[in-house]
């Protein structure tokens, strides 16, 4: 980039060369004088057009690094000459002139040249010398033309190719091209969008014109001519903050990204700190209630530091936002000024033997690129590295060490010591031996669970903006182990203000850092997270058992196993979300292209239940993140611990701060605050139907936010006499007692054909007697404790009502006697009539509700199955394929199981009808819940 800024074809008093009448244009022998990628590409294009290049003249090597122009020329076997200078004390160096003349050039092409070229060289080319200049001459003559185009607020930018004469950029113009300057253009964007690519092509066009004898020489007018100060001199790089916001903005963007506009920050202690400003934009006035004031030298106008960056006030009262600062040799986010100013240098890492090997590999990569000995203080950019070197370093580190880094990693840690520490920390992210808080960059409050032959560290604070933080006022909630009924710990109880901070953090991440992560990179992060969950699956399953009462073996296979599957499945979808093109009928003779884009919604809130804490989080969040949204999740009040451990793993996986936030607390306060928040654009909820209705009302009243609901169920399971009865008993029991009955698709009512009813009941009761009830961490346990005391009491009341209404209690119906903990006996009711409470309402517990039916009236059976306001799942056991498919056709349920039950898969959509809710989890369809469709129509 710096090459285009400083390269102006300075010739120190040369005049335009006249064409020798004894030569023909087709006999061109070209000398290229210059440096940089720009000059190298000009060389490549000239060779492609079969022009003869007889020599390349470039700068001397920097240490052992040669300029890319020299490397490119040698690849084409073109003579290369490297001169530290062409003159000594203003006089051409004889041996330099001799080497130049040795190639016999008759046209000098200067695509980028930062050296002073003697007029003897220019005069030595009979066809003359042409120079590239990045401005519309005569405007902005001098070395910093691109910058001054922006600083002066020009509406047009461009470049000129001119014939060298005895002035500085004053020779006749051969050709010019121009482009508009957009409001968000920087020096970088102008160069990459137009000046570089068009400049390379136009240099070749100019040579073609000379070869054809059609190249004009248009004298420059002095009207509008300017010669602007060189911005490679530090004294010219200071931004004047005592001017309008537009002028401040233009100056900063004119020096972005090299070398950066200079300003001086005056600290409270009186210290003056030079900084360079990058990433400027003009902003509308806003409140600075939570901002900190910062003082820049030489201005009385206020400046503020807040989450979005530093806001500088112009003399007209308008604001300039600055996103990044460079202090010393390190770039930091402007919003982190005060944190960085007070931060202590990180202690050097103690490297393991394997990490020392990685250090050696990394040191070798740096040395191969920079061609210097590498020390901890070696600065990548101070050694002359350019943009392509950055790309090479990042890609080689990814390939050889398999560590996720980006260009920004190097910008934030430009010295070898800093960069090496960043790489090592990221390498450790998947290491089970890492201690509390390692790789996260901060300590957090935690509890150590000693169970299952493990010691597991679990955070107990909320996770907001990439940090574990206390709730407002330090409020907490007790978490109880349902197996022992003893407290486990206290976790943060979020206030409405805490929820607001989490949502704002997610909103900021969505608008900034997350938009810079490509869909494929997003998928890679999700894959890394799934791998970390796999590495920690035993820990996660243990937490689920202690926190929610899940049987460990089931937690390992389903709670955690299916969670990992969900993250892997949706990681694969991240870069496959596509729109469509639509054939429309435009009015003739116009042509119209209409297409759709599938875009993320923004900040999504998720409220999940207590029966599958990690799985419900993963079912929803994986699709949400794959679609490109940011998220705030409120896990269930009574069992939030796997969500907090999950938050820790997201940091280790490399998710940027603010993308994933976890607020713990009550549904009535924290959950309601999410439903009411105007910045939340989508809410996904799993829970009871009554709460779902209240949340839907809040979504409508707040900002008509999109919502999806997975609510209550009373799923019918029909067992015909012609089925495989042994299988029907085994899977029927699973349909009811799986996960202690705390299962949204549990079979809430069994319809058993009268011919096999009694045998079915006998086999079920016999099976119940073989179920081991007890400690969920015991590998032999089949039935663990209910999730929490209030739910256990609800199940007791449910059974009391069933008996009172006349149903027959075959077994169970009460708390397990002589066993500490929230254990409820597996229960069976028969003789249940359709009008009874237990036939209509969900128990959400281990209670089998059985009704008889006669096979003579299939339609009546289906009507009984559908006689509920719920429609989540259903099942049928029969060997008659006609009956099975007719049942699947007529039953009002989102999921139908035939000769099986509870067979869900992450690729299969899941969701209910009627008051069981709407929208889907899992499968491709779940992505629709977290995407919006934009239609674009172009007329041409």
pLDDT of residue 772: 95
Per the listing, tokens 């970390």 go with 532
Helix (H, G, I), strand (E, B), or coil: what is residue 519? helix
Mean per-residue pLDDT over the chain, rounded: 91
pLDDT score of 114: 86
Mean pLDDT on 806-828: 97
Q: Which of 12-26, 435-449, 657-671 has the lowest mean pLDDT?
A: 12-26
Higher pLDDT, 369 or 821: 821
- 481, 820 in Cβ contact below 8 A? no
Q: How far is CA 132 from CA 39, 50, 111, 149, in A?
A: 10, 21, 5, 16
> How far is the CA of 729 from the CAs of 639, 737, 854, in angstroms?
32, 12, 19
pLDDT surpasses 70 at 22: no
Neighbours of 642 (CB within 10 A): 30
> Where are the strands (E) in 118-271, listed by range?
129-133, 156-163, 173-180, 261-266
**Active site includes 835?**
no
Per-residue pLDDT tens over the stretch 55-100: 999 999 887 778 889 999 999 999 999 999 999 988 999 999 999 9
* CA dist., res. 74 & res. 80, Å (int): 7
Q: Is 677 a catalytic residue?
A: no
Report pLDDT for 345: 57
- Examine the pLDDT at 421 and tell me if it is beyond 80: yes
pLDDT at 13: 35
Structure tokens given for 727 = 């299988």
In this prediction, residue 411 carries a pLDDT of 78
133 catalytic? Reply is yes
pLDDT of the residue at 57: 97
Residue 807: which residues within 8 A CB-CB, separation 6 or more?
829, 830, 831, 832, 833, 836, 838, 849
- For the cut 70, the answer to whether the pLDDT of residue 438 exceeds it is no
Is 534:526 a contact under the CB 8 Å cutoff?
A: no
Would you place residue 616 in the very low, low, confident or very high pLDDT band (cuts 50, 70, 90)?
very high
What's the pLDDT at 394? 85
pLDDT category at 439 given cuts 50, 70, 90 is very low
Confidence (pLDDT) at 1: 27
pLDDT at 290: 76
**Contact by Cβ (8 Å): 125, 108:** yes
Q: What is the pLDDT of residue 387?
A: 66
Count of positions (residues) in the chain: 940
- Return the higher-pLDDT residue of 549 and 390: 549
Q: Position of tokens 């033309």? A: 145
Q: Residue 872 is encoded by which pair of tokens? A: 């989540």
Considering only residues 345 and 754, tell me which one the structure prediction assigns the higher pLDDT: 754
pLDDT value at position 433?
A: 32
Residue 195 has pLDDT above 90, yes or no: yes
Q: Tens of pLDDT along 424-437?
A: 887 775 433 333 33
> DSSP letters of 563-629?
HHHHHHHHHHHTT-----EE---PPTT--EEEEEEEEE-SEEEEE--SSSHHHHHHHHHHHHHHTT-
C-alpha–C-alpha distance, residues 579 and 577, integer Å: 7
3-state secondary structure of 175: strand
Q: List pLDDT tens digits, range 237-273.
A: 999 999 999 999 999 999 987 789 999 999 988 899 9
Give backbone dihedrals phi and psi of 499, rounded to 5 degrees, phi first.
-60, -40
Higher pLDDT, 390 or 817: 817
B/e letters for 102-111, b = 16+ CB within 10 Å, e = fewer, are ebebbbbbbb
CA distance 34 to 37: 10
Spatial CB neighbours of 245, under 8 Å, sequence gap ≥ 6 = 282, 312, 313, 314, 316, 317, 318, 319, 320
Question: Which distant-in-sequence residues (6+ apart) come within 8 Å of 421 by Cβ?
Answer: 346, 348, 349, 413
- pLDDT tier for residue 407 given thresholds of 50, 70 and 90: confident
Options 133, 446, 536, 783, the catalytic residue: 133
- Determine which of 10-24, 700-714, 818-832 has the lowest per-residue pLDDT on average: 10-24
Residue 440: pLDDT band by 50, 70, 90 thresholds? very low
Q: What percent of the chain has pLDDT over 70?
A: 94
Give tens-digit pLDDT for 822-872: 999 999 999 999 999 999 999 999 999 999 999 999 999 999 999 999 999
- Residue 255, phi then psi, degrees to nearest 5: -115, 20
Tell me: pLDDT of 810 over 80: yes
Catalytic residue among 744, 757, 783, 825: 744
Q: What is the pLDDT of residue 66?
A: 87
Confidence (pLDDT) at 342: 64
If you search the block for the tokens 């190639």, which residue do you land on?
Answer: 103
Percent of the chain with pLDDT over 90: 77
Label each residue of 649-677 as H, E or C: HHHHCCCCCCCEEECCCCHHHHHHHHHHC
pLDDT average, residue stretch 575-590? 92
Question: According to the model, what pLDDT value does residue 24 have?
Answer: 52
Tell which residue, 855, 849, 876, has the closest CA to residue 719. 876
Instruction: Tell me the DSSP string of 85-103.
Output: -SEETTEE-HHHHHHHHTT
pLDDT at residue 725 is higher than 70? yes
Q: Is 303 helix (H, G, I), strand (E, B) or coil?
A: strand
Q: pLDDT (tens digit, 9 = 90+) per residue, 207-238? A: 999 999 999 999 999 998 999 999 989 999 99
**pLDDT given at position 258:** 79
- 192 Cβ contact partners less than 8 Å away, ≥ 6 residues apart: none
Q: Which entry of 648, 710, 742, 825 is annotated as an active-site residue?
A: 710
Structure tokens at 426: 């990221």
CA dist 528 and 649 (Å) reads 10
Contacts of 917 (CB under 8 A, 6+ apart): 689, 692, 708, 709, 710, 711, 872, 911
Nearest residue to 710 via CA among 795, 623, 643: 623
Helices 537-548 and 561-573 pack at an angle, to 10 degrees, of: 120
Q: What is the mean pLDDT of residues 39-46?
A: 96
Q: Does the pTM of the predicted model rise above 0.75? A: no
Specify the pairing of strand 581-582 against strand 630-634: unpaired
Give the residue among 641, 646, 648 at the shortest CA–CA distance from 437. Answer: 648
Question: What is the phi/psi pair of residue 187, to 5°?
Answer: -55, -40
Bigger pLDDT: 146 vs 407:
146
Report the pLDDT averaged over residues 485-495. Answer: 97
Structure-block tokens of residue 724 = 């495989």
What integer is the mean pLDDT of 24-31?
79
Q: pLDDT at position 494, please? A: 98
Q: How many CB atoms lie within 10 A of CB 70?
A: 22
**In this predicted structure, what is the pLDDT of residue 23?**
45
10-19, 502-511, 541-550: segment of lowest average pLDDT: 10-19
């Amino acid at each position: 980039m710096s090459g285009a800024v400083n390269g102006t074809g300075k010739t120190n008093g040369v005049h335009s060369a006249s064409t020798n009448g004894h030569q023909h244009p087709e006999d061109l022998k070209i000398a290229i004088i210059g440096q940089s990628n720009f000059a190298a590409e000009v060389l490549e294009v000239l060779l492609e057009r079969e022009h003869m290049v007889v020599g390349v003249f470039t700068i001397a090597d920097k240490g052992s690094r040669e300029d890319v122009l020299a490397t490119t020329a040698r690849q084409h076997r073109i003579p290369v000459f490297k001169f530290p200078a062409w003159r000594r004390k203003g006089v051409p160096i004889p041996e330099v002139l001799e080497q130049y003349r040795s190639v016999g050039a008759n046209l000098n092409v200067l695509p980028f040249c930062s050296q002073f070229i003697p007029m003897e060289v220019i005069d030595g080319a009979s066809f003359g010398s042409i120079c590239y200049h990045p401005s519309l001459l005569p405007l902005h003559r001098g070395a910093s033309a691109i910058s001054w185009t922006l600083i002066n607020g020009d509406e047009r930018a461009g470049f000129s190719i001119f014939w060298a004469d005895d002035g500085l950029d004053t020779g006749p113009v051969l050709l010019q091209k121009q482009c508009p300057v957009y409001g968000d253009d920087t020096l970088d964007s102008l160069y990459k969008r137009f000046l570089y690519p068009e400049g390379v092509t136009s240099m070749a066009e100019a040579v073609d014109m000379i070869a054809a004898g059609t190249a004009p020489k248009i004298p420059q007018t002095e009207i509008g001519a300017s010669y602007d100060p060189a911005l490679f001199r530090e004294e010219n790089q200071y931004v004047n903050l005592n001017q309008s916001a537009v002028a401040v903005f233009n100056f900063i963007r004119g020096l972005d990204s090299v070398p950066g506009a200079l300003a001086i920050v005056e600290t409270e202690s009186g210290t003056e700190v030079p900084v360079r400003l990058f990433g400027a934009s003009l902003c509308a006035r806003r409140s600075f209630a939570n901002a900190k004031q910062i003082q820049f030298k030489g201005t009385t106008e206020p400046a503020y530091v807040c989450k979005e960056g530093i806001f500088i006030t112009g003399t007209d009262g308008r604001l300039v936002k600055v996103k990044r600062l460079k202090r010393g040799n390190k770039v930091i986010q402007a919003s982190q000024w005060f944190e960085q100013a007070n931060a202590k240098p990180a202690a050097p890492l103690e490297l393991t033997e394997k990490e020392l090997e990685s250090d050696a590999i990394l040191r070798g990569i740096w040395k191969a690129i920079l061609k210097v000995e590498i020390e901890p203080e070696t600065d990548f950019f101070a050694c002359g590295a350019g943009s392509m070197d950055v790309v090479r370093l990042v890609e080689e580190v990814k390939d050889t060490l398999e560590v996720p880094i980006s260009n920004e990693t190097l910008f934030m840690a430009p010295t070898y010591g800093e960069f090496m520490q960043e790489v090592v920390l990221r390498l450790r992210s998947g290491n089970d031996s890492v201690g509390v808080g390692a790789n996260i960059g901060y300590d957090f409050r935690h509890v150590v669970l000693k169970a299952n032959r493990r010691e597991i560290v679990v955070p107990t604070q909320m996770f907001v903006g990439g940090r574990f933080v206390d709730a407002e006022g330090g409020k907490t909630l007790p978490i109880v182990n349902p197996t022992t009924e003893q407290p486990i710990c206290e976790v943060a109880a979020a206030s409405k203000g805490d929820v607001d901070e989490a949502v704002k953090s997610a909103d900021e991440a969505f608008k900034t850092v997350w938009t810079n992560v490509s869909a494929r990179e997003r998928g890679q992060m999700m894959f890394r997270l799934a791998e970390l969950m796999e590495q920690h699956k035993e820990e996660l399953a243990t937490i689920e058992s202690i926190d929610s009462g899940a049987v460990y073996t089931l937690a390992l296979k389903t709670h955690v196993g299916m969670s990992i599957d969900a993250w892997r499945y949706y990681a694969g979808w991240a870069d496959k979300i596509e729109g469509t093109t639509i054939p429309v009928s435009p009015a003739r003779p116009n042509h119209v292209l209409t297409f759709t884009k599938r875009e993320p919604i923004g900040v999504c809130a998720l409220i999940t239940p207590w029966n599958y804490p990690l799985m419900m989080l993963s079912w929803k969040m994986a699709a949400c993140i794959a679609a490109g949204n940011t998220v705030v999740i409120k896990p269930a009040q009574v069992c939030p611990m796997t969500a907090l451990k999950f938050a820790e793993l997201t940091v280790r996986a490399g998710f940027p701060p603010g993308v994933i936030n976890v607020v713990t607390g009550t549904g009535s306060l924290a959950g309601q605050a999410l439903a009411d928040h105007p910045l939340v654009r989508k809410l996904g909820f799993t829970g009871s139907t009554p709460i779902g209705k209240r949340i839907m009302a809040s979504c409508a009243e707040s900002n008509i936010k999109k919502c999806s609901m997975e609510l209550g169920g009373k799923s019918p399971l029909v067992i015909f006499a012609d089925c495989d009865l042994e299988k029907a008993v085994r899977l029927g029991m699973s349909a009811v007692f799986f996960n202690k009955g705390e299962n949204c698709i549990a079979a809430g009512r069994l319809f058993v054909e009268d011919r096999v009813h009694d045998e079915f009941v006998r086999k079920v009761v016999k099976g119940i007697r073989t179920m081991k009830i007890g400690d969920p961490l015991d590998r032999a346990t089949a039935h663990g404790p209910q999730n929490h005391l209030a739910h256990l009491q609800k199940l007791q009341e449910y059974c009391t009502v069933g008996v009172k209404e006349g149903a027959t209690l075959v077994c169970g119906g009460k708390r397990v006697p002589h066993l500490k903990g929230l254990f409820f006996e597996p229960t069976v009711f028969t003789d249940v009539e359709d009008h009874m409470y237990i036939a209509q309402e969900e128990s959400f517990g281990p209670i089998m509700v059985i009704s008889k039916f006669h096979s003579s009236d299939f339609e009546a059976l289906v009507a009984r199955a559908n006689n509920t306001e719920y429609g989540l799942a259903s099942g049928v056991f029969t060997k008659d394929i006609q009956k099975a498919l007719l049942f699947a056709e007529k039953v009002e349920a989102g999921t139908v199981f035939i000769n099986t039950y509870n067979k869900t898969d992450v690729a299969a959509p899941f969701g209910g009808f009627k008051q069981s809710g709407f929208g889907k989890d899992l499968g491709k369809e779940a992505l629709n819940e977290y995407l919006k469709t934009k239609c674009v129509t172009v007329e041409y």
